[in-house]
Structure 1
Amino acid sequence: METLIRWQLRDKFIPPIDFIPLAEKTGLIVPLGDWILLNACNKAAALIEQGYKDIVVAINISPQQFNHPSFYDTVVGVLEKTQVPAENIELEITEGVIMYNETDTIAMLQKLKDSGVKLSIDDFGTGYSSLSYLKQFPIDKLKIDQSFIRQIELNKDDKAIVSTVIELGNNLGLTLIAEGVEELSHMEILSDLGC
């Protein structure tokens, strides 16, 4: 399952597209991200306690949060505090994380991987896609962006891109998730392609 955040203000919801950029601009994304991490791990621990031992909870990590000097310590501290096994947590990063400092990113991803958490690249194909980082980074999963899925049954270019990403991911031993599957036809096409 994936952690999603919503902001309720009085009787209406403010969509993430409105408040996340503001949180990033003001620097509040780091404490907000830490709060989300803690709450997601608490929820995961509660579900595990209820018998869902194999559950994996995915948590989106912003580039600012990932690059914060205390990020690794925060992750390890939250895992210890909540007593959730690391293998039940998946940290999702976007390709934007990679653009800052490839050497430091590889080192951080390896430390996180060594701690036992799962790692995935969210919205794959929409940012700074580089095939070189797929072999360098210790990731477990690629999440194919929904912009390639919406018209997959009608757009041959979208289907070709998705097919190529699926084949690449399968050849690298990665788990693949296609985001934005809303029609049975989407699911059937993706299943036929090996996703």
Structure 2
Amino acid sequence: MSIIELRNVSYYYTPGRYILNHVNVSFAAGKMYVITGPSGCGKTTLLSLLGGLDTPKEGAVFYRDSEITGAGLEKHRRNNVSFVFQNYNLIEYMTSIENVRLTAKTDPLPILERLGLSAEESGRNILKLSGGQQQRVAIARALASQSEVILADEPTGNLDQETAVEITEILRESASEYKKCVIIVSHSEEVAHMAEEVYELSEGKLQKRRFC
């Protein structure tokens, strides 16, 4: 069953020059999706529309069959979606626990430990952690919010290949174990091959990819 979807969505900066051209796509809970495509093709724009950071020029975004503008974009961002960014987007003067506590409905430590950070590491200032550890904190913050949709914009872009695979596996487990809908924008073919469904965005059109 679809949890979030784009219905006939178009987006452009100049009329007639579509970044997204009448896109229809739906995403379900419990699955990890990857959206690929060349730089500048509109992948981040698509993610921003799903997250209520921007609105379509045509068409609409629906969350559980309700248009997100009806309930309010701020409410959608607060309750329904969580973002994971390439640059982690954590508050640098806080510890891991303090960062996760900003969105947590429960004790953040078990979630951080589940993602591989010890209690001692969780109590450190964010800047004293490696890039891979910081991205784990960002994912923990998304999980702690209890929102049903995780939107990840190039979450492994700053990481080495081994760490990138580990982080992607964590996101995949978040979908299967926590029943999240995880949507990742990525250039990485390794990340794409770990997804259950892959879409490619090119010239404003979104097409499902099939691997041989």
Q: TM-score, normalised by structure 2?
A: 0.33
Q: TM-score, normalised by structure 1?
A: 0.35
Structure with greater strand share of residues = 2
